[in-house]
């Protein structure tokens, strides 16, 4: 399944609902959506309940957005990670930092 991202917002928060696989091919699209959200909102929540694959390029997009959020004094978090996403973030020692 390709990656799809749906968005709901109530300023200053936006929630992005990612579904599918975040691979090398789809990570650029994922990153662009995260950065656009960061430009427009103060609190970014990424729901990853329906993400079936998260590669290193997806992790890079998440970290890049997280660092930009911190630098801009904005909030960034992952909610409802799938078991696979939770495992990948746990192995990368990122789960405690990103998952709320």
Instruction: Give me the pLDDT at residue 72, please.
Output: 96
pLDDT of 25 higher than 80: yes
Please name the residues in contact with 64: beta carbons below 8 A apart, sequence gap of 6 or more.
31, 34, 35
Hey, where are the domains in the chain?
4-98
Confidence of residue 3 (pLDDT cuts 50, 70, 90): very high
Tokens standing for residue 49:
């309940």
Q: Give the count of beta carbons closer than 10 Å to the beta carbon of residue 96.
A: 9
Is 3.40.190.10 the CATH number for 4-98? no
pTM for this one?
0.93
pLDDT of 1 higher than 70: no
Tokens 């390029």 appear where? 57
The sign of the dihedral angle between the CA atoms of 97, 94, 96, 53 is: positive
Q: What is the pLDDT of residues 29-81, one digit of tens each?
A: 999 999 999 999 999 999 999 999 999 999 999 999 999 999 999 999 999 99
| Rounded Cα distance, 42 and 56, in Å | 26
Tokens standing for residue 18:
């990612």
């Amino acid at each position: 399944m390709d990656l799809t991202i749906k968005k709901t917002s109530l300023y200053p928060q936006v929630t992005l609902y990612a579904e599918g696989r975040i691979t090398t091919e789809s990570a650029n699209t994922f990153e662009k959506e995260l950065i656009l959200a960061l430009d427009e909102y103060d609190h970014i929540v990424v729901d990853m309940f329906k993400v079936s694959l998260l590669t290193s390029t997806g992790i890079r997009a998440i970290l890049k957005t997280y660092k930009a959020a911190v630098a801009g004094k904005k909030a960034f978090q992952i909610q409802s990670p799938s078991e696979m996403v939770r495992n990948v973030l746990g192995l990368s020692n990122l789960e405690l930092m990103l998952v709320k």
